[in-house]
Amino acid sequence: MKNINNLKESENIIKYRVTSKGLSVKKVLLDNLGISTRLFRKLSKNKLIFLNNKKVKPGQLTNKGDTITIIMKDEDQNIKPQNIPLDIIYEDYDLLILNKQPYMVVYPTKSHKDNTIANGIAYYFNQKGINKKIRFVNRLDMNTSGILVVAKNSFGHQQMSRQFENNIVEKKYITIVKGRLKKEKGLINKPIGIDDDNPIRRKVKDEGKEAVTKYKVIEKYKDASLVEVKIETGRTHQIRVHLSSIGHPIIGDTLYNEETELIKRQALHSYSLKFKIPRTGKQKEVIAKIPNDMKRLIKLLK
């Protein structure tokens, strides 16, 4: 590839300045930048790693101040682009973080072939000239709102996926539950597994997987509570199951509670995410504003 020196950082181009002496290119990329072994092998095989603008072998030693450049090729996108408004709360070369509105399906399925978040992202990528596949790092149920993390390239995806898997990220939710919690703070440590009577549901069961949820009451109403929830594990329906298990199911949750005229979905919103920015390792927190239907619910309960 010609004119490496003129390439600027982008979704395709990552430049890393070496901060110490005597490490191999491979060690710098794996240990310092945090690239996975799998991605490194792919980049090395396709000769997409450069040291000071020249092609390099993985074992070559580096000096402090050297620049390593890695290139990620363009990719074909197979999602139909549709001009759907996106509430973008953070964006850099590797990540696109959205505040997902309720009732929106994240990815096309047989029953929802279009008008999904993915269709809107495909349109946004086309408009911005981002020739990459859409890689969701996390998912939210159709009726759960809040923070949705999308990677713009394979580097961003493996970096953020690893943070989620290793519980490096800190996820907080806001929810409105039935009843007034007696304790202002609490920890629910109960294993969760599939409900044998209904495979769509989950339930607390001894043979389930470990699940840990922390909660803090923000405000109490006549027969409801506004609660901040922090999850330390990521089990399916974890918050919904755990809160229901202590007698305080989420209002509007028809799977673990009952229908209500006050809100048409479970009152659950992913509002805060703390993570490390993939290229710099710096700590970052993003906040997703509470949607209008939950604001209305709070007013009604007051």
- DSSP SS3 for 200: strand
- 136 close to 148: Cβ distance less than 8 angstroms: yes
SS3 176: strand
Q: What does the alpha-carbon distance between residue 193 and residue 183 come to, in Å, rounded to a whole number?
A: 26
Which of the residues 31, 141, 206, 253 is marked catalytic? 141
Single-letter residue type at 287: I
| Burial per residue of 151-187, b for 16 or more beta-carbon CB atoms within 10 angstroms, e otherwise | bbbbbbbbbbbebbeeeebebbbbbbbbeebeeeeee
Whole-angstrom CA distances from 9 to 81, 100, 158, 159 are 25, 28, 19, 17
> Residue 215 forms beta bridges with which residues?
186, 229
Q: How big, in percent rounded to 5, are the helix, strand and coil portions of the chain?
A: 20, 30, 50
Q: Is 66 a catalytic residue?
A: no
Q: Which residues are catalytic?
A: 141
